[in-house]
Structure 1
Amino acid sequence: MSGFKSLFKQTFIYGLATVLPRMLSFLLVRLHTDESVLDSVADYGSVSLIYAYFVLFNVILAYGMETAFFRFFHKENNQDKVVGTSTIALIISSFLFFFFAFVFNNEIALLTELKVEYINLVIWILLFDALVIIPFAWLRANEKPMRYAILKIVNVGVNLGLNVFLLLYLKGLATNISIFESIYQPNFEINYIFIANLIASAITLILLIPFYTKIKYIFSSLLLKKMLNYAFPVLVAGIAFSINETFDRILLDKLLPENIGKTQVGMYSACYKLALFMTLFATAYRLGIEPYFFSHSKSENPQKNYAKILEFFVICGSVILLVVVVFADVLKVIFIGDEAYWEAMWIVPILLLAYLCLGIYHNLSVWYKITDRTKFGAYISVLGAIITLVLNYMLIPKIGFKGSAIATLAAYAIMMFLSFFFGRKYYPIPYNLKKIVLYLGLSTVFSMVYFYNFRGNYFIGVAALIVFLTLVFQLEKKELKQLLKK
């Protein structure tokens, strides 16, 4: 169990790096949805749309090199060459994007229906974020989770602090202090949100400059070709994934009448944040296990460990699903203060389950990463994107944001099942299906029945949670005792 202890230790630290910053970002949701900050739900919808495009371009600028870096860092004998080649490639591609994006910023603004001033800020943010991809991957590959965590927390802390200052205090200071008067601009709130993001990204890059000064800039065109061949399916999968993640908001804006489109985007995006509790856990888990998958792939019988990892993930994810669903109405008051957004609370259990399926999919994906069959990841993700687009087009005109939530669940559930099916053929792993199906099925039934039939009855909700936890303890007490042993 020592390997698991190391894994869970790293996952816990990566969890801090993921969960604490995202918890701080929850405060931004509270801030941005405050009626005294943005004028309307539709304005928050506009901000959400911009961040939806962010996800897509971040994937394109990374073009799968992060995953390729992990694979070849552990595969190649000359690790300096892997670091140097991937770093040089990302620097060149990032600045090429930066140049062409500014040249065609008006065309991009026209295509996305966003203001050019927003586009210019976004271009800078994307550049800075792209330049820290390999430094952060290097920290993870070298098992430096504490430094990784600190940098991530600093980034979001600066972002949060500047948002609070620019949106809440700058206007008041401008009326009394001349230096702030020259900075403040009225009706500039959306710009301030992205300026805060830009400064946070710039500070993160500055803190990672030591990485650029100490690495060896060894470049190999042959290695780059192999990395790009490995990375291309990851890029395709990433683009497909970004469609699954963000196009629901874009399509809500495009397919609904103009007078309600951005308002529904705003409500949907705010309540979507509550489902991020599952995303935070799944992301932290993935950050911990991805290096583990590669570093232990040549150990004796790694499949047994991979199977147990998935079982632990399903247990933890099922508990999170139940807890968030039971206390969803408490969480909405804490994180989404304005009642105008609460109409979309219907989506919360659906999206929580969707992201639990996505987390399981990422755990199952070990088979195609270890066997260098990343093209299957691309195929599965593209199919998921097609399902997302088709169902959104079918359902949004009929049931609005409910259709987007259902489409997300359908896409991730099908991706999960397909990965399991192909994994059994190409890299069999002895998953304990009886336990996994029991935990996942029971938590799903408890959650859906409670939320849509007994919502607000905490006696029933807490009782369901206790029953589930008791069952888990009875079935897993042997493993839990071993894990907790020093």
Structure 2
Amino acid sequence: MNQLRKLVSQTAIYGLSSIVGRFLNYLLVPLYTYTFSTGEYGVVSEFYAYAGFLAVVLVLGLETGYFRFRQNAEFDTQAIYGSALGFLSLFNVIFFCAVLIWRQALADWLHYPQHPEYLLCFAGILAIDASTALPFAKLRAEHRAWRFAGIKLAEIFITIALNLFFLVLCPKLLAAWPESPLAAYYHPQQGVAYIFLANLLASIIKFLLLLPEFRGIRLRPAPGILRPMLGYSLPMVIIGFAGMVNEMLDRAILKLLLPYDLATNLKMLGIYGACYKLSILMSLFVQAFRYAGEPFFFSYAGRADAKHAYALVMQYFVIAGIFIFLLVSLCLDFFQYFIGAEFRAGLGVVPILLLANLCLGIYINLSVWYKLSYRTGLGAWVALAGAGLTIGLNIILIPRWGYLGSAWATLACYGFMMCVSWLLGRHYYPIDYPLGKISFYLLLALGLYFGKQYLQQQQAWNVWLCASLGLTLYLLVVLVLDIRPLLKRRHSA
């Protein structure tokens, strides 16, 4: 139980940095949606979708490889870290140089011939972020959660400050003082490029803050370490890339598959991208759990009660995730004000995306089977199957249902991967998960959601009364079925 409490506390720290940081960053969404048109915001959504794919490739799966190999007494921890970090840094320098050389050709190919600077900014952001992935992994492995959280929050505060500087302060200064030296450097027509520039400068400062994690390390491959580590890690690239297909493909291809002109397609993409942000609480919870959970799963693997601990983690993860689903979906009339009125046409996708991300979190819990049994290749096939399903469903559903089809494709994919991973886990690393209780809570959540819809729309109940009743009922059920028995066991112990 001490280890489980440690997992909870570290998840809370990672979650604090992610939730507070992302929430502050999320406050930029109203700034963007009131500063730029839906089409311009569609450009932002599209480029960050591309960045999601490349970020997975550029890390080379070495985060997970580092966690796995540092548990192996056969290898020196510092040698493992230095070998992986040196190789990763070199790989990303080559990537940045390639984009620098061919930026105009890439901009033409993406239909942004007037803005090759978009490509250069993103190449810098991606190369820096990938190179700093291992220092962050090292902080997680060494349980230095507060330093991890501090640097993450610093990056986000700097990003926010720079966005406010470029998008709010500079235009006001230029309007008040047109002949100022600022006019030679600030060009309002660059538009969304200043969002990308703010991100790049924040990434550079983050790299500087992480320099202590680079010092004293021999950034060169140690004999017999890099090859087996890459053999373990590269299938994680396939898994991660397939995961990005599931998570980001819709925003990358919506403008190509929607049956309208390019300007309207970008507008629809902007609406979908803004509404996707309303599922951010679930995404943050899953991300915080992943940060703390991955080191926990590996460090706990050798214990006799490991499988029992993993089952408990799954149970309480689902309970917390369902609460987030109910909080956002039942109170959507409040959360909708976080985006501009022009973007609220897509609110119907939010409950679907919340459920999809909950399934993703369950899948991450279940993925312990292939990580601990050295079957990352088989795990890659599961992810690829999910990616294939995502691609097929998006191609079929987007022309018919628009961005709503993308949301249903995301849910279908994560639900499929969750089920397949559970079936394979029963064979390769069987864990006695409390399926009955998990299924009950999922059905209860759906019942409360549809019950709220019925009472609000058919019986004209007050929306806040419906939401409050639903959340209260869920918490009472959790209290009776899980919290009270847990407190009794602790008291008797």
Q: TM-score, normalised by structure 1?
A: 0.96
Are residue 53 (structure 1) and residue 54 (structure 2) matched?
A: no
**1:485, 1:367 → 2: CA distance?**
33
Residues 1:479 and 2:469 aligned together? no
Select the residue among 313, 323, 328 that pairs with 1:324. 328
- Where 1:429 maps in the other structure, the secondary structure is coil
- Give the secondary structure class of the aligned counterpart of 1:431: coil
From 314, 317, 321, give the equivalent of 1:313. 317
Deviation readout 1:126-150 (Å, 9 max, x if unpaired): 1111220111010001000000000
Alignment-mate amino acid for residue 48 of structure 2: Y
> Which residue of structure 2 aligns with residue 116 of structure 1?
116
- Render the CA deviation track for 1:306-338: whole Å, top value 9, x for unaligned: 0000000000000110010111121111x11x2
CA distances 1:213-266 after superposition (whole Å, capped 9, x unpaired) = 132445225211111111121100111111111110122100122242101100
Task: Call closer, same or farther: CA 1:339–1:143 in 2, change over 3 Å.
Answer: same
Q: How many residues are aligned here?
A: 481
Q: Does 1:13 align with 2:13?
A: yes
Which residues of 2 match residues 10-409 of structure 1 at below 5 A?
A: 10-34=10-34, 37-38=35-36, 40-76=37-73, 77-114=75-112, 115-174=115-174, 175-176=176-177, 178-217=180-219, 219-256=221-258, 257-258=260-261, 259-333=263-337, 335-336=338-339, 338-409=340-411
Structure-2 change in CA distance of 1:157 and 1:460 (3 Å): same
- 8 A Cα contact 1:72 1:227, kept in partner: yes
Deviation of residue 449 (structure 1)?
Answer: 4.4
Structure 1 unaligned runs (5+)?
none
For the Cα contact (< 8 Å) 1:121–1:195, is it kept in 2? yes
Deviations 1:75-100 (A, max 9, x none): 24410111111011111101111111
Superposition deviation, residue 376 in structure 1: 2.2
Indicate if the aligned counterparts of 2:87 and 2:219 stay in contact, CA closer than 8 A: no
Letter in 2 for 1:473: L
The 3 A distance-change label for structure 1 pair 451 and 344 is farther
Amino acid at match of 1:9: S
**Residue type of the partner of 1:454?**
Q
Contact 1:321 1:447 in 2 (8 A): no
Q: What secondary structure sits across from 1:214 in the alignment?
A: coil
Q: Can you list the C-alpha shifts for 1:195-214, whole angstroms capped at 9, x where unaligned?
A: 10011000000011111113
Partner of 1:461: 467
Contact 1:33–1:44 (8 Å) recurs in 2: yes
CA displacement at 1:357 relative to structure 2: 0.2
What 5-or-longer segments of structure 2 have no aligned partner?
none
- Mapped to 2, the partners of 1:420 and 1:57 lie a distance apart of 28
CA contact (8 A) 1:163 1:192 kept: yes
Distance 1:290-1:307 versus aligned 2 partners, 3 A rule:
same
The structure-2 alpha-carbon separation of the partners of 1:484 and 1:277, relative to structure 1 and needing over 3 Å to count, comes to farther
What's the RMSD between the two structures over aligned residues? Answer: 1.8
Q: Structure 2 vs 1, CA of residues 17 and 130 (structure 1 numbering), >3 Å: closer, same or farther?
A: same
In 1, Cα distance between equivalents of 2:148 and 2:12:
12
Q: CA deviation at 1:182?
A: 2.8
| Mapped partners of 2:491, 2:276: distance in 1 | 35
Residues 63-84 of structure 1, C-alpha deviations (whole Å, 9 max, x = no match): 1111111111122441011111
Distance 1:128 1:484, change over 3 A: farther
Counterpart of 1:416 in structure 2 is 418
CA distance in 2, matches of 1:157, 1:454: 39
Larger displacement relative to structure 2 (449-458 or 14-23): 449-458
Cα contact 1:173–1:181 (8 A) shared by 2? no
2-side partners of 1:480 and 1:111: how far apart?
Answer: 60
Q: Deviations over 1:418-447 (max 9, x none)?
A: 111100111011111111111122112322
Q: Is the 1:347–1:405 Cα contact (8 Å) retained in structure 2?
A: yes
Query: Structure 1 residues 321-330 or 342-351, which shifts more?
Result: 321-330
1:88 partner letter: G
Deviations 1:150-204 (A, max 9, x none): 0000001100111011101101112338243333212222111011001100000
- Secondary structure of residue in 2 paired with 1:74: coil
* Greater mean alpha carbon deviation, residues 41-50 or residues 211-220: 211-220
CA shift, 1:466, in A, is 1.2
User: Following the alignment from structure 1 to structure 2, what is the Cα–Cα distance between the partners of residues 95 and 326?
Assistant: 47
The residue type equivalent to 2:465 in the other structure is: F
- Using the alignment, how far apart are the partners of 2:237 and 2:487 within structure 1? 38
State the Cα distance separating 1:453 from its structure 2 match: 6.8
Contact 1:5 1:483 in 2 (8 A): no
Higher mean C-alpha deviation, range 448-457 or range 463-472:
448-457
Write the letter of the residue equivalent to 1:457.
V
- CA separation in 1, counterparts of 2:283 and 2:188? 36
**CA deviation digits over 1:332-378, x for unaligned, max 9?**
11x11x21100000000000000000000001101110111111221
